[in-house]
Structure 1
Amino acid sequence: MSARILVVDDILPNVKVLEAKLSAEYFDVITAFDGAGALERALSDSPDVILLDVMMPGMDGFETCRRLREDPRTRHIPVVMVTALTDVSDRVRGLEAGADDFLSKPINDLALFARVRSLVRLKALTDELRARQATAGAGMLDDLGGEEELAGARILVVDSQERRAQRVADQLGQAGHVTEILLEAGEALKRGQAEPSPDLAIVNIDLGGQDGLRLCAQLRSQEATRQLPLLLVLDETDLPRLAKGLELGISDYLIEPIDRNELRARVRTQIRRRRYYDRLRGLLDRTVSMAYTDSLTGAYNRRYLKAHLERKLMEMADSEKPVSIMLLDLDCFKEVNDAFGHDAGDAVLQEVARRIGNSVRGFDMLARYGGEEFVVIMPDTEPEQAFAVAERLRRLIAEKRFSVPDREEGLTVTFSAGVATATDPMETGEELLKRADVALYEAKEAGRDRVLAAASPDETGRAGPRYAGGRLGRS
Structure 2
Amino acid sequence: MSQSILIVNNVATNRIVLNVKLSAAQYTVHQAHSGAAALRVLRTNSIDMVLLDVDLPDMDGTRLCRNIRALPRSKNCLILAAMENEPLDKKKEIMAAGADDYLQKPVDDKILLARVRRLFRARAAETELQLRDGTAQALGFAEAAASFQGAAHISVVAGDRTARDDWRASLQEFSNHRLEGLSRCDALSQESPELAPDIFVISARDTEETFGLSLLTELRSNPNTRHSGIVVVLPYENHNLSAIALDMGADDLVYEGFDPAELSLRLNVLIDRKRQNDTLRQQVRTGLQAAVTDQLTGLFNRRYAMPHLKRIADRAKRTDQSFAVMILDLDHFKQVNDQYGHATGDKVLAEVAKRLRDNLRPFDMVARFGGEEFLIVMPDTPLHQAKQAAERIRKLIAKDPIEVPFQDSSIHVSTSIGVAVGSPPHRSTFDVQQLLNDADSALYDAKAEGRNQVTLARGAAA
Q: CA deviation digits over 1:371-409, x for unaligned, max 9?
A: xxxxxxxxxxxxxxxxxxxxxxxxxxxxxxxxx979xxx
Which secondary structure state, in structure 2, belongs to the residue aligned with residue 223 of structure 1? coil
Give the counterpart letter for 2:162 in structure 1: R
CA change 1:290–1:231 in 2 (3 A) is: same
Counterpart position of 1:340: 321
Contact 2:65 2:97 (C-alpha < 8 Å) held by counterparts: yes
Which secondary structure state, in structure 2, belongs to the residue aligned with residue 116 of structure 1? helix
Q: Find the aligned partners of 2:152 and 2:223 in 1 and give their Cα distance.
A: 20
RMSD (Å) for aligned C-alpha atoms = 3.7
Q: Find the aligned partners of 2:286 and 2:55 in 1 and give their Cα distance.
A: 45
Report how far residue 187 of structure 1 moved: 1.8
Contact 1:213 1:245 (C-alpha < 8 Å) held by counterparts: yes
Report how far residue 264 of structure 1 moved: 1.4
Q: Find the aligned partners of 1:267 and 1:282 in 2 and give their Cα distance.
A: 22
Q: Find the aligned partners of 1:117 and 1:338 in 2 and give their Cα distance.
A: 47
Counterpart position of 2:434: none
Report how far residue 99 of structure 1 moved: 3.1
Report how far residue 162 of structure 1 moved: 2.6
Q: Find the aligned partners of 1:43 and 1:137 in 2 and give their Cα distance.
A: 30
Report how far residue 61 of structure 1 moved: 1.3
Counterpart position of 2:392: none
Report how far residue 165 of structure 1 moved: 1.9
Contact 1:6 1:29 (C-alpha < 8 Å) held by counterparts: yes
Report how far residue 56 of structure 1 moved: 0.4
Contact 2:36 2:58 (C-alpha < 8 Å) held by counterparts: no
Give the counterpart letter for 2:202 in structure 1: V
Q: Does 1:178 align with 2:159?
A: no
CA change 1:38–1:279 in 2 (3 A) is: farther
CA change 1:294–1:169 in 2 (3 A) is: farther
**Larger Rg computed on CA atoms:** 2
Report how far residue 198 of structure 1 moved: 1.4
Identity %: 32
How do 1:173-252 and structure 2 match up within 5 A? 173-174=172-173, 175-182=175-182, 184-191=183-190, 193=192, 195-209=194-208, 211-252=211-252
Q: Find the aligned partners of 1:43 and 1:216 in 2 and give their Cα distance.
A: 40
Counterpart position of 1:167: 166
Report how far residue 222 of structure 1 moved: 1.8
Contact 1:155 1:202 (C-alpha < 8 Å) held by counterparts: yes
Contact 1:48 1:123 (C-alpha < 8 Å) held by counterparts: no
Which secondary structure state, in structure 1, belongs to the residue aligned with residue 58 of structure 2? coil
- Could you tell me which runs of 5 or more consecutive residues in structure 1 were left unpaired when the two chains were aligned: 140-145, 303-328, 344-403, 407-475
Q: Find the aligned partners of 1:207 and 1:181 in 2 and give their Cα distance.
A: 16
Which secondary structure state, in structure 2, belongs to the residue aligned with residue 191 of structure 1? coil
How do 1:32-47 and structure 2 match up within 5 A? 32-39=32-39, 41-42=41-42, 45-47=45-47
How do 1:281-430 and structure 2 match up within 5 A? 281-291=281-291, 333=314, 336=317, 339-341=320-322
Give the counterpart letter for 2:82 in structure 1: V
Which secondary structure state, in structure 2, belongs to the residue aligned with residue 99 of structure 1? coil
Q: Find the aligned partners of 2:294 and 2:42 in 1 and give their Cα distance.
A: 38
Number of residue pairs aligned between Structure 1 and Structure 2: 307
CA change 1:335–1:195 in 2 (3 A) is: closer
Counterpart position of 1:52: 52
Contact 1:48 1:78 (C-alpha < 8 Å) held by counterparts: yes
Which secondary structure state, in structure 1, belongs to the residue aligned with residue 320 of structure 2? helix
Q: Find the aligned partners of 1:294 and 1:275 in 2 and give their Cα distance.
A: 29
Counterpart position of 2:115: 115
Q: Find the aligned partners of 1:29 and 1:255 in 2 and give their Cα distance.
A: 30
Q: Find the aligned partners of 2:180 and 2:197 in 1 and give their Cα distance.
A: 9
Q: CA deviation digits over 1:264-289, x for unaligned, max 9?
A: 11011000101111112222322343
Which secondary structure state, in structure 1, belongs to the residue aligned with residue 195 of structure 2? coil
Q: Find the aligned partners of 2:72 and 2:101 in 1 and give their Cα distance.
A: 20
Which secondary structure state, in structure 2, belongs to the residue aligned with residue 21 of structure 1? helix
Give the counterpart letter for 2:219 in structure 1: L
Q: CA deviation digits over 1:90-124, x for unaligned, max 9?
A: 54554454433333444322112211111111111
Q: Does 1:254 align with 2:254?
A: yes
Give the counterpart letter for 1:227 in structure 2: H
CA change 1:236–1:192 in 2 (3 A) is: farther
Q: CA deviation digits over 1:397-424, x for unaligned, max 9?
A: xxxxxxx979xxxxxxxxxxxxxxxxxx
TM-score, normalised via structure 1 length: 0.56
Q: CA deviation digits over 1:54-88, x for unaligned, max 9?
A: 100222112222444567865543322123x1245
CA change 1:181–1:208 in 2 (3 A) is: farther
Counterpart position of 1:392: none
Q: Find the aligned partners of 1:60 and 1:69 in 2 and give their Cα distance.
A: 15
Contact 1:154 1:198 (C-alpha < 8 Å) held by counterparts: yes
Q: Find the aligned partners of 1:134 and 1:74 in 2 and give their Cα distance.
A: 20
CA change 1:129–1:236 in 2 (3 A) is: same
Q: Find the aligned partners of 2:136 and 2:38 in 1 and give their Cα distance.
A: 32
Give the counterpart letter for 2:109 in structure 1: D
Contact 1:138 1:287 (C-alpha < 8 Å) held by counterparts: no
CA change 1:29–1:283 in 2 (3 A) is: same
- Could you tell me which runs of 5 or more consecutive residues in structure 2 were left unpaired when the two chains were aligned: 140-145, 305-309, 325-378, 382-462
Q: CA deviation digits over 1:42-63, x for unaligned, max 9?
A: 5654433321111002221122
Report how far residue 167 of structure 1 moved: 3.1
Report how far residue 18 of structure 1 moved: 1.1
Contact 1:54 1:61 (C-alpha < 8 Å) held by counterparts: yes
CA change 1:24–1:283 in 2 (3 A) is: same
Which secondary structure state, in structure 1, belongs to the residue aligned with residue 200 of structure 2? strand
